[in-house]
Amino acid sequence: MEAQVKMDYSVEKTSSRLWNAMHRYNKDAEQTVAVSGEGSWFTDDNGMKYLDGVSGLWCLNLGYGRQEIVNAAAEQMKKLSYFPLTMNHQPAVELAGKISELLGEKYQTFFSNSGSEANEAAFKIVRQYHNQTGNPGKYKIISRYRGYHGTTLGALSATAQANRRVKYDPPVPGFLHVYPPYSYRSIFGGGAEESDLKAAQMLEEMINWEGEETVGAFIMEPFISGGGVIIPSTKYIQRVEDICKKHNVLLIMDEVVSGYGRTGKMFGFMHAEGVQPDIVTMAKGLTSGYLPLGATAVKSEIYDAFKEEGKNNHFRHVSTYGGHPASCAVALKNIEIIEREKIVERVNDLGEKKLGKLDQLIEHENVGEVRRIGFLLGLEMVTDKASKVPLDELKMAEIVGKCKQEGLIIGKNGDTVPGQNNVIIVAPPLTSTEDDLDFIVETVSAVIRSL
Ligand code: PMP
């Protein structure tokens, strides 16, 4: 056991003053204390080892404990421990260049500290861009129900999940929500692709009804993650881009989860051929969670509206720690490793060969749908296939709890949609070994079959 002092973390007699996100909600999670991590595994203060099947919060793309990344942070801190991005520092300049290269077109990147902040910056950029290009009325931001975009009030207002929102209402004005491409429970009918395209059509209807001159942007995750792993037809993403272009609505692609290899492409939107979002937001896998960093990459032609010299039209948004030199150095090393170790190819290969085995669970009466892309997988759990009634919360907790007893951490779309928190989530580090992936498949399969 590595921890020297062992505290009692129970709610009743807590000797910890920490308020974690599960406090007074999930006792088991509340009391888990991690002390170390290596590869896809972490060890708690009882010496128990767990395979982290959701990569922390879907962020540990390269897993725990990569010495190379630790060294990159330490070396940068020794050289230049801090510097604000009201001027430039080398790792930020280099990283912005790298991000532009990875996105396949010229993008200008603004750095922050998290995914929420990356989205907040995007919303402000959208409003200012339209202001400075003769369309000051285009302030509305449309997102999808079940989408997740962060915790801060703007990002939360774009997050259209009732249970995460209602206690903090009212939301920021100007945020609207449209139906997602959720073919399993489609209100549109038809096959998956047809239903997805109708969901895209609804976006256009909304833009028309609201008045094109009032709509500034549409924000989407290429694959809704926290809202239940929803994987639309790639035609949906292409159609959405066409609609946005037609109405001068900027397309913000939230790649916070899907960026940096998670889905078997460097960025999720790259699955949809020809799509090139106006703004791409990222965090999590950008540093594999080693240090905080958020990024808002903006197409150069949009950035051009912010650079007229002598005019007061620059982006009025300064972040003390955004683009911290150590975070940027870590991101550069992280990307270097992703490229060197061909992580994207690995995710494609092993996602299919190993996690693909979980497709077989569709035979089980409680599994309504298996949704999977790369190392991102959702199992929609139901009481029976015909009724599609969502499996109840207690059963869902039982699945997650039993996996934990076996040494596997998995997730569920907890507390997102009233009565529909019934998607089991598996999203392991992209460096998970073949044995790790076998362990995930065997454990999840055995627990679900024991239901
Ligand atoms: N966007 C998406 C798609 C996310 O999943 C998250 C976090 N889970 C965020 C934004 C917010 O990121 P952060 O927690 O770093 O603020």
Is residue 116 within 8 A of residue 149, CB to CB? The reply is yes
**Spatial separation of the C-alpha atoms in residues 126 and 20, rounded to whole Å:** 33
Confidence (pTM): 0.96
H or E element that contains 74: helix 67-79
Is residue 100 within 8 A of residue 106, CB to CB? The reply is yes
**Spatial separation of the C-alpha atoms in residues 423 and 413, rounded to whole Å:** 6
Is residue 118 within 8 A of residue 155, CB to CB? The reply is no
Q: Look up residue 172 and give its DSSP letter.
A: P
pLDDT in tens, 108-125: 999 999 999 999 999 999
Question: Cβ–Cβ contacts within 10 Å for residue 42, how many?
Answer: 22
Positive or negative CA dihedral for 323, 329, 332, 338?
A: negative
Confidence category of residue 25, pLDDT binned at 50, 70, 90: confident
Q: Which atom of ligand 1 is the closest one to the Cα of 226?
A: 5
Which single residue is written with the structure tokens 């109405």?
Answer: 247
Contacts of 444 (CB under 8 A, 6+ apart): 358, 361, 379, 403, 408, 410, 424, 426
The predicted structure's pLDDT at residue 3? 46
Pocket test for ligand 1, best of 123, 254, 284, 290 (most atoms within 8 A of CB): 284
Give strand pairing partners of 41: 38, 51
Query: Residue 229 — φ and ψ, nearest 5°?
Result: 50, 80
**Spatial separation of the C-alpha atoms in residues 8 and 173, rounded to whole Å:** 43
Provide residues with CB under 6 Å of ligand 1: 57, 114-116, 119, 148-151, 221, 225-226, 254, 256-257, 283
**Spatial separation of the C-alpha atoms in residues 320 and 323, rounded to whole Å:** 9
What secondary structure, in 3-state letters, does 342-397 show?
CHHHHHHHHHHHCHHHHHHHHHCCCEEEEEEECCEEEEEEECCCCCCCECCHHHHH
* Domains of the chain as residue ranges with CATH: 27-53+343-449 (3.90.1150.10), 68-340 (3.40.640.10)
In this predicted structure, the answer to whether residue 66 has a pLDDT above a threshold of 80 is: yes
SS3 category, 296: strand
- State in Å: Cα 155 to ligand 1 middle: 9
pLDDT in tens, 412-451: 997 777 888 999 999 999 999 999 999 999 999 999 999 9
Output the furthest CA–CA distance in the chain (Å, rounded). Answer: 69
Pocket test for ligand 1, best of 60, 149, 221 (most atoms within 8 A of CB): 149
Quote the ipTM score.
Answer: 0.99
